[in-house]
Chains A and B, each alone.
Chain A
Amino acid sequence: MNYDIIVVGGGHAGCEASLASARLGHKTLLVTGNIKNIADMPCNPSIGGPAKGIVVREIDALGGEMAKTIDSSVLQIKMLNTGKGPAVRALRAQADKIEYPKKMLKTLQNQENLEILENLVDDLIIENNKIKGVKLNNNKTIFAKAVILTTGTYLSSTILVGDTKTSSGPHGEKNELYLSNNLKKLGFKIIRLKTGTPPRIAKESIDFSKTKLETGDMKQIYTFSFNNKVQYDIKKQIPCYLVYTNAKTHEIINKNLTKSSMYGGYATGVGPRYCPSIEDKVVRFKDKPRHQLFLEPESIHYDDIYLQGFSTSMPYDVQEEMVHSITGLEKAKIKKYAYAIEYDAIDPTQLKQSLETKIIEGLFTAGQINGTSGYEEAAGQGLIAGINASLKIENKDPLILKRSDAYIGVLIDDLVTKGIKDPYRLLTSRAEYRLLLRHDNADLRLREYGYKIGLISKKQFEKLEEKQQDIQKTTTILKQTKITPTEKNNQILTELKTTPLKTAISLYDFIKRPEISIYDVKQFCEISNDQEVLEEVEINIKYEGYIKKAMKEVDKMLKLENKKIPLDIDYNQIKNLASEAKQKLQQIRPTSIGQATRISGVNPADITVLTIYLKKRGATSE
């Protein structure tokens, strides 16, 4: 059997990768251990959040699938950080764990050029360091021009509960036992990571009267996708609830600490700093009297409640005791116990910015295999891997998003440049130019890339161009229209609770007043009615100074980014480099001085040495 591209693994990365590849016209095969588990959400029942929510928007702008699928399986949706500036606003939805995978599977099955095969991949077929195909569990071989590994937490995974270790994927699924070892044989550096999931509680066993209600946004309707119409009833959103741990819970945890896999020394993988287990929270923050937990619904089709914030690797009996100590959960029935899972990942510094591995040509990796955590991070990488595997077999240059283009760009650059120590989660603080990487402008930033690649239709792109023109026009009108200090106008201003005018000012400058919104000036001029357009124009006006500053910083960064480093450099020959820098540079092989500056362990003095060396080298070759 022959394909253009094979995707190994049907999680969030694999779905985006195989859809992108098939949509770009390549004969694609998705190999998955269990078709029923495609697009599964084995951990939290939500998508989005700070930074992550913006990634979902970016995926949509580029022509990916996650935003559309979550929009049609929302249980509850909320815009976060509305009290702060527009740059950090982000959507988060509670997702229906049955609906989301079901809809994604349907999309995959209806996709032209895409076939799905239920099997496990044990080995890769390599010739002269080039990928040729995969070898299945049943010893069958399938050939392809490119292969994308999106194996998630399934690589040699082990489930940990107390002192029990079971070789298995999430929910007792079959795991990939041989692939990791074979990757090692090819020269890949493999790292062991760990993550965990909290218990699920039977809804009817919870005393909700002792909890605090957390609803979705009840006023405004939001969607992740730029093309979607809202498909849910705002009033039918399903609420979450808030509960807390207490002194008793902490006492139980402390008393049983050595029984947990982590503290008992049964775990070898490194867990995520950003998503600690409850044991970790109690041990590391001794002074905190309580920790906040959310009760989140998983689906309208069944009654399990996800106990967010309570992931643990304690034995079952201790978990019972811990859960029952929480007010509101005294009589809670645990439907699924919490567990920790260890899995193999590859050191992501072995990847190029395109997500192609440096060792094997045509082999790409995306998602948790690259050391990330989170559905959104996985999907973002999957999309880029799918696009770049396609561009590769078309002999085209890869799509590399810059740090100033997208959170996805930040994510990939961080992975391949800095590497990871624990599972990587995107945070807004990782983005230097977050003011430019907003929820609202993801389409303006990325749609053109999607269109050029071929994942965004002409019609969609024209819609974007219209939006751009509308933004332009509205801005011009606001600049040209002045309000004068007439008695009538000042009366209106007083009603708007803003200082009356003494001299005429443009509406553009008027909007800069913190208490004035763009909607307030609609009575003074004819401008667009499009909410997205108005939002965009308003942000550009109100934060003009900050945006300009950020653009200046970007220019500075791009200058360093444009100083290219030839790939054939032997860093061992550069004698004045510190040995740590030598080793790191040799391993990561940055493509630009800009990237080199971001490598940890490479200090400014090393950069100077490198710059001088490149200058000298340039001078001799000229």
Chain B
Amino acid sequence: MEDTIAAISTALGGAISMIRVSGSKAIEKVNNVFKSKDLTKEASHTVHYGYIMDKDEIIDEVLITIMKAPKTYTVEDVVEINCHGGITTTTKILQILLENNIRLAQPGEFTKRAFLNGRIDLIKAESVMDLINVKTQEARKMAINNLKGQVSDKIKELREMLVKILSNIEVNIDYPEYEDIETITTKEIIPQLKHIEKEIKILIENSQKGQLLKDGIKTLIIGKPNVGKSSILNKFLQEEKAIVTDIAGTTRDFVEGTINLNGILLNIIDTAGIRKTKDVVEKIGVDKALSLIDEANLILVVLNGNESLTLEDEFILDKTKNTKSIVVVNKNDLKTKINKTKFKDRIIVDINTKTLDGIKPLEQKITELFQFEKIKGPETNYLSNIRQISLLKEALVSLKNADKGIADKQPIDMVELDIKQSWEKLGEIIGATYNDELLDNLFSKFCVGK
């Protein structure tokens, strides 16, 4: 059960690599391949210089940190071997360890042990997973904040508010004849519920933004052929990644590129130009572009400012009218011919892909639209994974059900059932309620060695 596991904990290819070993025999087993001093006789939380040996052969010069249970990441004995970062050396050391009856760790196993040994709660475990995957500094900050338990505190606070309402209702039920105990009515709990709902909504909104922070904003560039979609993408990417030509219909596939816009990730998808086509390959591209409209977090509808709206433009404008979108009017130095009154209710940005700063207004608008300044601020207080966010939404739905119950004149003890469910859902986020499938799901997502 409590066998000793090892894995390379850093990305391969850096100057220094770290191999982590955890388990009751971690120190003893690493000691078997270490030449310098007897690690089993050394104090906890100390660093030692020496060599990793393969029988008589020196493999690498290393620094070894030994940490004894329980004050370690996994609450087991942990050894960290800092070696030179070449792929060959690092994997060789790992191989030597594995030959000494140490098992290769499964994905997420170190964190799983930390969780199972009670050192970290569920939110923290999930944050660790996020930390491994972070792509930008902002998202990293968010992951660290979660780790410190700020979100847990917020959820605990909301649960306490709910528990207060719950206990007041319960006391009225179990002690119905006590005049001096205030009888709480559905009327009285409405404002309290509204307040908690508002808090949860903010948390959801921020969390969804947080998710965008972490995963990036799926940005779809759409427009009829040859209006400059690929030019915009290239402007973003500052490199010739998408193919730009003057012949309509060259971008048949979706070229994806990721840009870092003031610390926020934009995952940009360029699409085939939307037009009626008989070319089978191109038709697939057009259909796919249309189908992506629903999935995107942001749609950039590109129009050519130097000509009037065509039926194709109007078709695209219509398809995107209820989405989070920006109408990008691409103009060069030629005369403006487009009539903007047809889409005057939309967010419109003029750009010029031919000039150096031509797409700056677009970048600004995107930043504004996602209120990046707000989510980048110090109150990075939100949940950042789908499981947590969906529980948050369920908690909100339960409170809405309670509202509905009140509106339908249901008795307070019925209304309470929904409030209780909301409280339980919030509890599930911080791991206060046991859920079977959750854990299997959670830990299979972890990548090796933290």
Contacts and interface: CB of A to CB of B under 8 A. Distances in A.
Interface string A272-294: 00000000000000001011101
A480 interface: no
B116 A608 contact: yes
Contact of B170 (A83, A288, A428): A428
Classify the interface of chain B: helix, strand, loop or mixed: loop
Interface hub of B2, B118, B170, B178 (most chain A Cβ within 10 A)? B118
B408 A514 contact: yes
A80 B170 contact: no
A575 B2 contact: yes
Contact of B116 (A290, A291, A576): A576
Contacts of B174: 50-51, 427-429
Given A50-B174, A576-B116, A607 B417 contact: no
B411 A611 contact: no
B117 A576 contact: yes
A85 B411 contact: yes
A435 B173 contact: no
Which bracket fits the contact residues of B? 20 to 34
A543 B408 CA distance: 11
B417 A546 contact: yes
B414 interface: yes
Interface stretch (A3-11, A95-103, A182-190, A597-605): A597-605
A576 B176 contact: no
B178 A435 contact: no
A87 interface: yes
B117 A604 contact: no
Nearest to A542: B410
Contacts of A288: 180
A483 interface: no
A235 interface: no
Contact of B434 (A80, A428, A604, A613): A604
B345 interface: no
Contacts of B176: 50, 80-81
Nearest to A274: B174
A255 to B, nearest CB: 23
A320 to B, nearest CB: 25
Interface string A402-435: 0000000000000000000000000111000001
Given A608-B439, A609-B116, A429 B170 contact: yes
A294 B115 CA distance: 53
A616 B432 CA distance: 25
Contacts of A85: 410-414
A81 B117 CA distance: 46
B434 A575 contact: no
Nearest to B1: A575
Contacts of A292: 178-180
Contact of B412 (A84, A290, A543, A609): A84
Contacts of B413: 81, 84-85, 87-88
B177 A80 contact: yes
B56 interface: no
B170 A549 contact: no
Contacts of B357: none
Contact of B417 (A549, A609, A613): A549
Given A427-B174, A546-B417, A560-B436, A84 B431 contact: no
B409 interface: yes
Interface in B169-188: 170, 172-180
Nearest to A594: B434
A578 interface: yes
A607 B434 contact: yes
Contacts of A546: 410, 414, 417
A550 interface: yes
Contacts of B122: 604
Given A85-B413, A290-B180, A514-B408, A427 B170 contact: yes
A278 to B, nearest CB: 14
Interface string B411-422: 111100100010
Nearest to B24: A575
Interface in B75-118: 113, 115-118
Interface string B173-208: 111111110000000000000000000000000000
Contact of A291 (B118, B173, B180, B421): B180
Interface in A46-104: 50-51, 80-81, 83-85, 87-88
A605 B117 contact: yes
Contacts of A88: 173, 413
A435 B417 contact: yes
A85 B406 CA distance: 13
A608 B112 CA distance: 10
12 contacts: A50-B176, A292-B179, A292-B180, A435-B414, A435-B417, A543-B410, A546-B410, A549-B421, A597-B434, A605-B115, A608-B116, A616-B1
Q: Which 9 A-B pairs have the closest CB atoms?
A: A85-B411, A514-B409, A429-B170, A604-B434, A85-B413, A88-B173, A575-B2, A427-B174, A597-B434
